[in-house]
């Protein structure tokens, strides 16, 4: 006689509800995806692809990333991915700051070892500014990336899922180690695309200082159009990029950790603006201030800037990199060693003036030099990359000249019409003080 008792099979044999089984399956899939992330931790494309899949809600709301702040443009920058993702500007970007009195105090008072990020739309002067900062004795500027850039990725500093075993790269600790080796207290990086990721930067490194540099959108449009000749001049690589990148950066315009500087102002009055930038990031702007900082830390009058404060959690999986935690990233440790490097500094001119003097002189504009070199302007991805890198090397090696507007004579009537047709571009032009209206 057949049994009348129903015997559950498959999933329902183990769990009282199929929904519970589905949840466990989703969690298992997430862990498998996380394992893939860890295997390919050097691949930004894999990390961002996983994030995009989760953001689409493929695995339901259980593993869907958090919300982003309002007003983030759909596209931003030209690094992968071209589209903005929720990890770049999370709505809770201030959570680490608000949870710590230490970080709240240093919103307006930068630490001596504050990380520095130079951001802004491409072709707006980020390379020129990072080159200036690299000449400061207490600033280590990382310039070894392609185009001298360092683009922040989902796990560069803080793991996107703190409750899952995702290993953070902890690039902040690696950069601090490089800075210490160079007797520097600050480390600085630049990448235009980082203007799209300020929320992640502030959440991961609450004591970071950001300098956002802007340039007249009409000149930027002409420069980007010359670089991306096969792209739509109004699309996300040219005019759209200037609009999107600056729109993303202005979301944080009231944050005291960000300073906005116009390239035209910096190039016209470099001593004045460079002093303001140094004060903003917490670096000495004179030899006298530098000596005072060194002596203060050598005498041990100041407690550790960062040692007693618990840093944001980077997930338990980062424990396998525990050796990095011992890196000398505190000013009192960095400045307590031999001072032969300090005595070797040339003090024949002011500290700011020494930063304005490049290693070699170039007479011609870098953009003019590269544009007139046919071998660098040939089509093809590799040629375009060589073109871009040569432009960057030229910019670092030349002095900071005043940047006069080129658009009055170089901008065609068609380009003017395209620019004026973008109402957000016109509003930004007025906001930055480049035009009073669209009658130009």
Provide DSSP, 95-116. Answer: HHHHT-HHHHHTTTS--TT--E
DSSP string, 154-171: TTSSS-S-TTTTPPP--H
Instruction: Identify the pLDDT of residue 296.
Output: 78
Among 153-157, 208-212, 390-394, 417-421, whose mean pLDDT is lowest?
Answer: 390-394
CA angle 390–393–399, rounded 5-degree value: 130
Among 37-46, 93-102, 145-154, whose mean pLDDT is lowest?
Answer: 37-46
CA angle 218–221–227, rounded 5-degree value: 150
Domains assigned to the chain: 114-152+165-295+404-425 (3.40.50.300)
> Which whole number is the average pLDDT over 135-147?
86
Q: Average pLDDT of the chain?
A: 78
Among 111-115, 239-243, 269-273, 405-409, whose mean pLDDT is lowest?
Answer: 111-115
Q: What percent of the chain has pLDDT over 90?
A: 43
Instruction: Identify the pLDDT of residue 102.
Output: 84
Q: What tens digit of pLDDT does each residue of 175-214 get?
A: 998 998 888 999 999 999 999 999 999 999 999 999 999 9
Instruction: Identify the pLDDT of residue 5.
Output: 41
> Which whole number is the average pLDDT over 241-269?
97
Residue 408 confidence (pLDDT) above 90:
yes
- Collapse the DSSP code of 22 into the 3-class scheme (helix H, G, I; strand E, B; otherwise coil) and give the result: helix
- Collapse the DSSP code of 343 into the 3-class scheme (helix H, G, I; strand E, B; otherwise coil) and give the result: helix
Instruction: Identify the pLDDT of residue 81.
Output: 64
Q: At what angle do helices 44-55 and 18-39 cross, to 10 degrees?
A: 160
Nearest CA to 124 among 408, 367, 353, 386? 367
Residue 384 confidence (pLDDT) above 80:
no
| Token output for 128 | 């020129």
> Which whole number is the average pLDDT over 153-178?
75
Assign 153 a pLDDT band (cuts: 50, 70, 90). Answer: confident
List the helix and strand counts (H, then E) for the chain.
21, 5
Q: Give the number of other CB atoms < 10 A from CB of residue 31.
A: 12
Whole-number Å distance between alpha carbons of 136 and 286: 10
Assign 31 a pLDDT band (cuts: 50, 70, 90). Answer: low
Whole-number Å distance between alpha carbons of 154 and 30: 16
Q: What tens digit of pLDDT does each residue of 346-382 get?
A: 888 999 999 998 765 544 556 555 455 544 444 444 4
- Collapse the DSSP code of 28 into the 3-class scheme (helix H, G, I; strand E, B; otherwise coil) and give the result: helix
Contact 208, 397 (CB under 8 A): no
Whole-number Å distance between alpha carbons of 205 and 110: 12
Among 74-88, 194-208, 211-225, whose mean pLDDT is lowest?
Answer: 74-88
Placement of tokens 């020494």 in the chain: 354
Residue 321 confidence (pLDDT) above 50:
no
* For the ranges 155-169, 297-311, 318-332, 397-411, the one whose mean pLDDT is highest: 397-411
More confident residue, 152 or 164: 152
CA dihedral 33, 38, 39, 42 (to 10 degrees): 120
Contact 128, 199 (CB under 8 A): no
Nearest CA to 126 among 107, 144, 143, 108? 143
Dihedral class, residue 82 (left if φ above 0, else alpha if ψ from -120 to 50, else beta): alpha
More confident residue, 103 or 332: 103
Whole-number Å distance between alpha carbons of 396 and 173: 26
Whole-number Å distance between alpha carbons of 178 and 187: 8
| Token output for 124 | 């707006």
Instruction: Identify the pLDDT of residue 308.
Output: 37
Residue 422 confidence (pLDDT) above 50:
yes
Contact 367, 162 (CB under 8 A): no
Whole-number Å distance between alpha carbons of 126 and 121: 8
Instruction: Identify the pLDDT of residue 307.
Output: 39
Assign 222 a pLDDT band (cuts: 50, 70, 90). Answer: very high
Residue 104 confidence (pLDDT) above 50:
yes
| Token output for 298 | 């050598």
Instruction: Identify the pLDDT of residue 322.
Output: 39
Residues 6+ apart with CB under 8 A from 383: 376, 377
More confident residue, 284 or 34: 284
Whole-number Å distance between alpha carbons of 270 and 347: 19
Whole-number Å distance between alpha carbons of 174 and 150: 13
Whole-number Å distance between alpha carbons of 368 and 387: 12
Please report the beta strands in 289-407, taking only residues with DSSP state E, as ranges in sequence order.
none
Assign 343 a pLDDT band (cuts: 50, 70, 90). Answer: confident
> Which whole number is the average pLDDT over 131-151?
87
Query: What is the gyration radius of the CA atoms in the chain, in angstroms?
Result: 25
Assign 8 a pLDDT band (cuts: 50, 70, 90). Answer: very low
């Amino acid at each position: 006689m057949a049994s009348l008792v129903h015997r559950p099979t498959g999933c329902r044999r183990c769990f009282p509800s199929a929904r519970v089984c589905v949840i466990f399956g989703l969690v298992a899939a997430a862990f498998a995806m996380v394992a893939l992330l860890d295997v390919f931790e050097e691949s930004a494309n894999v990390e961002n692809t996983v994030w995009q899949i989760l953001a689409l809600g493929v695995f339901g709301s259980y593993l869907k990333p958090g919300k982003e702040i309002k007003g983030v443009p759909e596209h931003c920058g030209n690094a992968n991915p071209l589209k903005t993702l929720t990890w770049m500007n999370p709505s809770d970007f201030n959570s680490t700051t608000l949870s710590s009195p230490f970080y709240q105090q240093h919103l307006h008072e930068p630490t001596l070892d504050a990380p520095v990020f130079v951001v802004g739309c491409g072709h707006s002067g980020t390379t020129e500014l990072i080159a200036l900062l690299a000449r400061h004795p207490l600033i280590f500027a990382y310039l070894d990336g392609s185009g001298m850039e360092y683009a922040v990725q989902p796990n560069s500093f803080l793991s996107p899922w703190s409750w899952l075993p995702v290993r953070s790269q902890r690039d902040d600790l690696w950069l601090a180690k490089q800075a210490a080796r160079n007797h520097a207290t600050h480390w600085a990086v630049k990448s235009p695309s980082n203007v799209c990721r300020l929320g992640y930067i502030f959440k991961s490194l609450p004591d970071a200082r950001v300098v956002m540099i802007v340039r007249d959108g009409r000149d930027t449009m002409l420069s980007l159009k010359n670089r991306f000749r096969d792209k739509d001049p109004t699309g996300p690589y040219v005019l759209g990029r200037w609009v999107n990148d600056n729109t993303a950066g202005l979301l944080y315009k009231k944050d005291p950790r960000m300073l906005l500087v116009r390239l035209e102002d910096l190039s016209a009055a470099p001593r004045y603006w460079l002093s303001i930038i140094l004060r903003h990031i917490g670096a000495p702007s004179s030899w006298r201030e530098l000596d005072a900082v060194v002596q203060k830390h050598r005498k041990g009058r100041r407690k550790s800037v960062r040692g007693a404060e618990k840093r944001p959690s980077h997930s338990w999986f980062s424990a396998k990199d525990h050796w990095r935690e011992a890196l000398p990233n505190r000013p009192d440790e960095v400045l307590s060693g031999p001072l032969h490097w300090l005595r070797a500094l040339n003090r024949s001119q002011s500290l700011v003036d020494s930063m304005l003097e490049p290693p070699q002189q170039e007479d011609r504009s870098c953009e003019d030099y590269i544009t007139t070199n046919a071998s660098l302007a040939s089509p093809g991805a590799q040629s375009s990359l060589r073109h871009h890198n040569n432009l960057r090397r030229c910019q670092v090696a030349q002095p900071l000249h005043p940047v006069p507007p080129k658009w009055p004579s170089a901008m065609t009537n068609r380009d003017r019409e395209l620019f004026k047709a973008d109402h957000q571009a016109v509003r930004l032009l007025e906001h930055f003080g480049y035009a009073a209206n669209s009658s130009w």
